[in-house]
Amino acid sequence: MSDPAGSSPSGDSVKTFSRPPEEPLLARVRTWTDVMPWLRLVRVARLAGAPVWLFLVAMVDLVWRLGLNWLTVTFADAPEAASGRTQALLIQESMPKVDPWQTSTTLSDLVWWLSGRGPSFSLPWQSFSFSMMPPEVLLWTVVLWTPVVMVLLRLGVLLTAGRDLPGFVETWKIVGQRLKSAVVISVLPGVCALPFVLFLWLGDGLATGERKHWEWAYALAPLAIPAALIVGLLMAGAKAAIPFGLAALVSQEKADAMDCLSRGYEVTFRRLPQLFLLLVPAGVLVGILSFAWSWVAEAASSSMGNPVWQAFLARVPILVGVTVGWAMVGGVYLLLRQFAGGQEVEDVWDGPKRAPLNVPSVKRDA
């Protein structure tokens, strides 16, 4: 009688193992977004056709432009107003020489310059050059645009995470509850850099006064150079860390200003190559949408002769660029967060849970 299968002549059983088939290279890839995460940003392009949010940005843009016109006239009549301050608001340039992360208006001017469809007549809501932005204009811009930017950041976060567009009132409630933290995030980098700036100012006055004291310059160099580098890192990193911090503020349930700002600096410095790689497709998408709407606006304005109506139509590609551009910042933050800490893109706070409706039970009589 033959031995049973799997047994050796000595009586010990022999275990056989079947070799699993080789897995394909992309077997663990669920979707194309796992290979190319930037494809998630394509969903943000939905805002280019969202009339509610575009109308919101248009109204804020109109109020902002009218406020700029009033500030220009008011402060230009003051005796202490220099001619350079007035010209900085009135002279239009072909390309804005300002940082595109500072305010949403600079991003709109940048998109407007890229589209090459600027109006040729002077109206209060045209693009201005902010190379010498006065403090009152900067304050008006930040106060008016910061809540809108937070709204757009939340829309970009939700769309990148695969959610639908939220409700208008619900979104503003979330933003209104976190405005105080947004102010802290915006001011904190400057507050942290202030002691180093004061030290550099005092040291510079001591080393390079009316009489140059070279011995003090060499003595303070080991302290002044690191202090200047710290100031540079804080303020240069704040250009991206503040928008990313605001995106973190509106994307998580328990938001802390310090934690959100640290997340902004983390995704900026720890994943700097990924940041530049993600900005390329985001910028391409914004440019395509702005160009498309500029053609639509040009075709629409050709059928009317009123310059005011033409001016409003000419602002349409800018409004689309502002809306989609700031929403892209929220989407880029989610992708950078995944690269930096491994947190899934879908891990986003959907908003406060609605209380269940107390529906009375219906009892049937026997």
* Domain membership flag for residue 135: yes
Residues 6+ apart with CB under 8 A from 287: 111, 114
In a domain, 252, yes or no: no
- Residue 13's SS3 state is strand
Average pLDDT over residues 237-261: 91
Residue 99 has a pLDDT of: 35
Q: Evaluate whether residue 250 is within a structural domain.
A: no
Q: Which residue has the higher pLDDT, 80 or 154?
A: 154
Is pLDDT larger for residue 37 or for residue 21?
Answer: 37
- Label residue 340 by pLDDT band (50, 70, 90): confident
Per-residue pLDDT reduced to its tens digit, 63-112: 988 888 887 766 555 544 444 444 444 433 333 333 333 333 333 333 33
Whether 362 maps to a domain, the answer reads no
Distance CA 102, CA 241 (A): 11
Residue pair 248/255 in contact by the 8 Å Cβ criterion: yes
Considering the domain boundaries, does residue 272 fall inside one? yes
Per cent of the chain over pLDDT 90 is: 36
Lowest mean pLDDT among 15-19, 37-41, 190-194, 280-284: 15-19
**Confidence at residue 159, expressed as pLDDT on a 0 to 100 scale:** 93
Residue 220 lies in a domain: no
Alpha helix stretches (DSSP H) within the chain? 32-35, 51-76, 83-90, 104-115, 135-160, 168-177, 179-207, 214-249, 257-269, 272-301, 307-314, 316-341
> What confidence tens digit (pLDDT) does each residue in 173-193 have?
999 999 999 999 988 998 999
Residue 286 domain-assigned (yes or no): yes
- Determine the pLDDT at residue 242: 92
For the chain, what is the mean pLDDT? 76
| Containing structural domain, residue 56 | 36-171+259-341
Split into its structural domains, the chain has a count of: 1
Instruction: Report the alpha-carbon distance of residue 340 to residue 347 in Å, rounded.
Output: 14
For residue 211, the 8-state DSSP code is S
> What's the pLDDT score for residue 329?
94
Structural domain contains residue 357: no
